[in-house]
Chain A
């Protein structure tokens, strides 16, 4: 009987998607050293609230409203530093090691001069049910975790829209 319970528990554990386990995005001390910090934590209830405030008349806002429908959370940590070498590159591995077997690498870009970008997708069959983006460049470290079904095609088309102040390097160098 005990064996059956164990088997059942293991089966259940395997059936729970990795997305159910939140990814730890705490990087103690990093915010203190950074010049600019973006820290966004939106759980399912806040996303529902936000959806009500996204206009259905504005095409861009409607696109975002559609995208966040069904998401369980969005978490962003972005740190920008005054100088190079202010953060430990091992932080990238610390995030990667938290990703379970259902997470597949979609893209790995390595560049000496620009950013290193890693994109991982949490796959259920052929559906993406979560996304982790890790971007590491000499003076910036960004991790984004989107928990829930993501349409990455639409995500990439959102960049540079909505009239939000641009957080890109050009702006920060000023």
Chain B
């Protein structure tokens, strides 16, 4: 037997209450999505403080646009899209310097296990061009298909596939070069 509860899925209580001005409900929404928003930024910049600031900005923007959110799935899509686009914009504006310690940590990677390998991979992702970085993060952090990613970044699906392919090639090449 399958229970279908369309209203509970499409329009959950916190969103409705938040739209009516309930701050506790908005806090619930933040808590539900903060890891996703913060992590998209963190994997983009590798900088906790900048990611916190960007994530706060996203939720502030959400607060001001709550009335335009139609459903829970729309909310998730909206947050992913706004966060990703803000990351790309900010990176393009400031052309942030990724880098420093990668070589030092590489040495450690060879001796130690996963945490440092993860760190190395994160750094390599941070060094990718903005759009490739966004596509890879959405693919692997959010587990999205190219067909979903293309709606978020506003590109044809084949362009997304091509960015993903080039990014993975580049990551493989850099990892093999150092191994």
The residues of A with any CB-CB pair to B shorter than 8 Å are 66-67, 69, 104-107, 119, 123, 125-126, 149, 151-154, 156-157
Query: Of A66, A106, A125, A153, which contacts B100 at CB under 8 A?
Result: A153
B27 an interface residue at 8 Å Cβ cutoff?
Answer: no
Residues in B whose Cβ lies below 8 Å from that of A67: 49
Q: Are B118 and A126 in contact (CB under 8 A)?
A: yes
Query: Taking each of B48, B99, B112, which has the highest tally of chain A beta carbons within 10 Å of its own beta carbon?
Result: B48
B177 an interface residue at 8 Å Cβ cutoff?
Answer: no
Known A107-B108, A154-B47; judge A126-B115 contact (CB<8 A): yes
B111: nearest residue on chain A (CB-CB)? A105
A149: nearest residue on chain B (CB-CB)? B48
B161 an interface residue at 8 Å Cβ cutoff?
Answer: no
- Expressed in whole angstroms, the minimum distance between the Cβ of A161 and any Cβ of chain B is 13
B93 an interface residue at 8 Å Cβ cutoff?
Answer: no
Query: Taking each of B49, B50, B99, B123, which has the highest tally of chain A beta carbons within 10 Å of its own beta carbon?
Result: B49
A106: nearest residue on chain B (CB-CB)? B108
Residues in A whose Cβ lies below 8 Å from that of B108: 105-107
Residues in A whose Cβ lies below 8 Å from that of B107: 107
Known A153-B101, A156-B100; judge A123-B47 contact (CB<8 A): no
B interface, over-half SS: helix
Residues in B whose Cβ lies below 8 Å from that of A157: 97, 99-100
Known A149-B48, A151-B47; judge A156-B101 contact (CB<8 A): yes
Known A66-B49, A69-B49, A157-B97; judge A107-B104 contact (CB<8 A): yes
- Expressed in whole angstroms, the minimum distance between the Cβ of B135 and any Cβ of chain A is 23
- Expressed in whole angstroms, the minimum distance between the Cβ of A152 and any Cβ of chain B is 5
Interface size class of B (residues with CB under 8 A): 10 to 19
CA gap between A125 and B107 in the complex, in Å: 19
CA gap between A106 and B47 in the complex, in Å: 19
Query: Can you list 5 A-B pairs with a CB-CB distance of less than 8 A?
Result: A66-B49, A69-B49, A105-B108, A107-B107, A157-B97
Residues in B whose Cβ lies below 8 Å from that of A105: 108
Residues facing A in B12-51 (CB within 8 A) are 46-50
Known A126-B118, A149-B48, A154-B47; judge A106-B97 contact (CB<8 A): no
Residues in B whose Cβ lies below 8 Å from that of A151: 47-48
Q: Are B112 and A104 in contact (CB under 8 A)?
A: yes
Bitwise interface map of B from 99 to 123 toward A, beta carbon under 8 Å scored 1, else 0: 1110011011000100100110001
Residues in B whose Cβ lies below 8 Å from that of A106: 104-105, 108
CA gap between A119 and B105 in the complex, in Å: 11
CA gap between A106 and B102 in the complex, in Å: 12
Residues in A whose Cβ lies below 8 Å from that of B118: 126
Q: Which 8 A-B pairs have the closest CB atoms?
A: A66-B49, A126-B115, A156-B100, A153-B100, A107-B104, A153-B101, A157-B100, A106-B108
